[in-house]
Structure 1
Amino acid sequence: MEQDSDLEFPDGGWRAWSVVLGSWCAMVPSFGLMNTIGVFEAWLADHQLRDYSKASIGWIFSLYTFFLYFGSIQVGPLFDAHGLAPLLIPGCVGLVASLMIFSVAEEYYQFMLGFSVLGGISSSMVFTPSVACISHWFLRRRALATGIAATAGGIGGIIFPVLISNLADNLGFPWAIRIIGFISAAFCFLSVALLRTRIPFNSAQKGTIDIKTLKDLRFSLLTAAIVLIDFALLIPLTYLPSYAQSRGLKDSLSYNLSSILNAASIVGRIVPGYFADQFGRFNVMIITTFICSVFIFALWLPSQSNQAAIVAFAVLFGFSSGTAISLSPVCIAQISKTEDFGKRYGITYFFVSIGTLVAIPIAGEVLNIQTSTMGQDDYTGLIILCGLVYFCACVFFILSRGVNVGWRMKVF
């Protein structure tokens, strides 16, 4: 049941679609960086931080995603209460600054403070309002609009790895990161110019966190599903390039697997978004989440050194996993009032932040344990963990849908 049927939404028109463009511009740097962490992890493991374990390096990017999502619990209510500018502009400045620090970092703590902490918090201040703005302008076509905006993360995940792989050898890694910083600054400027809110601020909320929202069973079940799906998604994003390297694929192809996966996810954010508006947002999430678990067990797990199988997994998983980013916020909005969306989004992604904080290190420890046992890199346990978590996410999406509308087949 839609919670905003008593409000009128443009659901189109130049102003509404310009907000989608602004949201897209905001997500290119903020979410594009998260989709590039596999390349960052592989590069640092071979260069600046080659004396550190994969699990230790994983904490750098796990902490980045933690702050990206953790900040939402405060950014969301502040957006509902005070609007866009107090969050977006400082976030854009901090995001660009974090990349410039990343470009000159050499020590472990410098990557932690400059990229993980400053970059993660700043990205949250950019990403969360850009998603919430779309819910001010779209209702009936919200999934499609959010899916289009969310393709930006895939675009960033294509552009940034390609820039690193092509520029790092010629200009050096620091200048490759600085160029990414300049590109991010341009997209941030456009997002500030285009993003606008429409529905009056919820001043009664006063920017506070309301954890009592979790008493709503349908919302708490949905939150659990989104936590699990984001936990599982980070594992292939982070470890697929290094998995390919360990199986004998060339470094250039291994790095470009992130670009291949993200390119497929672009289509996987638009097409399912269109069908979600027609056949139900929860229904599409259930189907795509189950398909992801099938691809992990049936394709990634047995692929070994089969180059075709690894590339096929990157394409098929990339397409089916795109809904984790594009439809999760839409599912939250579907069971929330628009003026409370920021608050509910923030609470959900507070718990997501905890999941993403431990996802990469847990996967890294599983990898380290099996590697020390087998005497060589063994990703079997890591892949099984990823597939099982995806399957559990599917179960929680089913339970949340059942609590909302019952167990009969219908559009929801």
Structure 2
Amino acid sequence: MPRGFTLTFGAFQTYYQRNFLKDSTPSAISWIGTVQSFFLILVGCLSGPLFDKGWYRVMLIGGNVAVVFGIFMLSLAKNYWQVFLAQGVCMGLGAGLLYVPSLALIGLSFSTRRSLAQGIVTSGIAVGGVAYIIAFDRITTSSGFPWAVRVMGFISLGIAIMAIPTLLYGTSSLAKARSARKLWDMTAFKDANFLIFTACSSSTFFGYIVPYFYIASFGQDALNLSRNQALYILIGAISASFFGRLLVGFVAHRLGPLFTWFWCTAISAVVSFSWIAVDSRNGLIVIGVFWGFCSGGLVTLPAAVFPTLCPDQRRLGTRVGMSWGISSFASLTGPPIAGALLGKSSGPAGHQPRSDYLGPQLWAGCCLLVGSLFVFALWLKTVKQRNQGIFV
């Protein structure tokens, strides 16, 4: 559920731009969501040694406490820096502590069908995202922003109370210290597969989250949709990602995670460019659903691809942490760059013309296009190395 807040930030982005933080620029507001995503990935990588030392339970409980505390502090926030600390820093740090335990349990529980399991587990992110947006939309209208956030906090608290005992069941072996992995392996930079993979994930992370941040505000500003209509288009996109993640896991199991990753990235780039032509509510609904469905594998598939590329499984944890740590800076800067490219003109009744969103749309599309080319190069190289067919 904490990761669901990353996908729901589009609802916060729109609300902050038009209400709570309307004196701040869209780029400045987007930093709140991207810092949260950045800490989720970076702290998740750095917490690997803590997991190896047997701190699984501490991270599980501490991460949930930090996320819930950050949500309730957000409900008390009055200005930008308070929102930034509560939603960006505190919730991001907490989610980062939960990131490794969630992935580690999948790896320990499944030796085969890992791509399918990854898709099923991460599809829960979409469920959390939809629940949070609906709660945020309904309660901000009736009771205001503070109580909307508090209700989201109570939802998170309830989920944590139910989930922690389940996630602790049968994990006594994880409390025992194992050989801690290194944080850095300089030999990785001599491995072409590592370098290309990192270029793939960095390129896609630059553009992946941009539509989720700006589709709702585009609907209100450029198409004159109501806040309710715009948010439910975002809900449609997140709901479609639920089914996309499930299908991607199944397809990757059959056709290979790398082959599937290429097609997910390439189609997502096409959908991002198609967003430029949208000039109606129905068109935005179609783009939102296609985007959510096609982009479902952009986060889940890299985790399934990397183990097949690492030449020494004893260094897998270290190299995964290095690659995701580098890619986290793309997650940090991608949406703020898109926000800086957002036009400043104003149309009728304060609305912005569609052309003002051309910058973010092109940024997302170009980043994903470059990412698809890197994935294609990695797929081609892997096919030639293994000589076992195209489905890898």
Matching residue of 1:360 = 335
**Which 5+ residue runs of structure 1 have no aligned equivalent?**
1-27
Matching residue of 1:89 = 61
Aligned amino acid, residue 162 of structure 2: L
Q: Once structures 1 and 2 are overlaid, which stretch shifts more, 339-348 or 34-43? A: 339-348
Matching residue of 2:42 = 70
Deviation at 1:42, TM superposition (A): 0.8
Q: TM-score, normalised by structure 2?
A: 0.90
Per-residue CA deviation, residues 284-303 of structure 1 (Å, 9 max, x unaligned), is 01011111111122x31111
Q: Distance in 1 between matches of 2:190 and 2:366?
A: 27
1:2-401 map, 5 Å: 28=1, 30-195=2-167, 203-205=178-180, 208-210=183-185, 212-246=187-221, 247-297=223-273, 299-304=274-279, 306-336=280-310, 340-368=315-343, 376=353, 378-401=356-379
Q: Once structures 1 and 2 are overlaid, which stretch shifts more, 181-190 or 258-267? A: 181-190
Per-residue CA deviation, residues 119-178 of structure 1 (Å, 9 max, x unaligned), is 111111112320122011213210110100111111111111111111112122111111
Deviation at 1:192, TM superposition (A): 2.4
Aligned amino acid, residue 116 of structure 1: G
Deviation at 1:334, TM superposition (A): 2.9
Per-residue CA deviation, residues 15-70 of structure 1 (Å, 9 max, x unaligned), is xxxxxxxxxxxxx2x21100100001111122221111111111111211111112
Verify the 8 A CA contact 2:56 2:174 in the aligned structure 1: no
Q: Structure 1 residues 384, 176: CA separation in 2 closer, same or farther (over 3 Å shift)? A: same
Name the structure, 1 or 2, with higher relative contact order (CA <8 Å, separation 6+). 1
Q: Structure 1 residues 403, 204: CA separation in 2 closer, same or farther (over 3 Å shift)? A: farther
Q: Give the percent of matched residue pairs that are identical in Structure 1 and Structure 2.
A: 26
Q: TM-score, normalised by structure 1?
A: 0.86
Secondary structure, in 3 states, of the residue corresponding to 2:225?
Answer: coil
Q: Structure 1 residues 285, 108: CA separation in 2 closer, same or farther (over 3 Å shift)? A: same
Verify the 8 A CA contact 1:268 1:319 in the aligned structure 2: yes
Aligned amino acid, residue 256 of structure 2: G
Per-residue CA deviation, residues 301-331 of structure 1 (Å, 9 max, x unaligned), is 1112x11110000001110000012212111
Deviation at 1:382, TM superposition (A): 1.4
**Which 5+ residue runs of structure 2 have no aligned equivalent?**
none
Verify the 8 A CA contact 1:269 1:322 in the aligned structure 2: yes
Per-residue CA deviation, residues 70-89 of structure 1 (Å, 9 max, x unaligned), is 21231123323435213221
Q: Structure 1 residues 109, 199: CA separation in 2 closer, same or farther (over 3 Å shift)? A: closer
Q: Distance in 2 between matches of 1:283 and 1:294?
A: 17
Verify the 8 A CA contact 1:78 1:208 in the aligned structure 2: no
Verify the 8 A CA contact 2:70 2:90 in the aligned structure 1: yes
Aligned amino acid, residue 397 of structure 1: V
Q: Structure 1 residues 249, 338: CA separation in 2 closer, same or farther (over 3 Å shift)? A: farther
Per-residue CA deviation, residues 370-392 of structure 1 (Å, 9 max, x unaligned), is 889x9856111211111111111
Deviation at 1:411, TM superposition (A): 2.3
RMSD value, Cα: 2.4
Alignment length (residue pairs): 381
Q: Distance in 1 between matches of 2:340 and 2:264?
A: 28
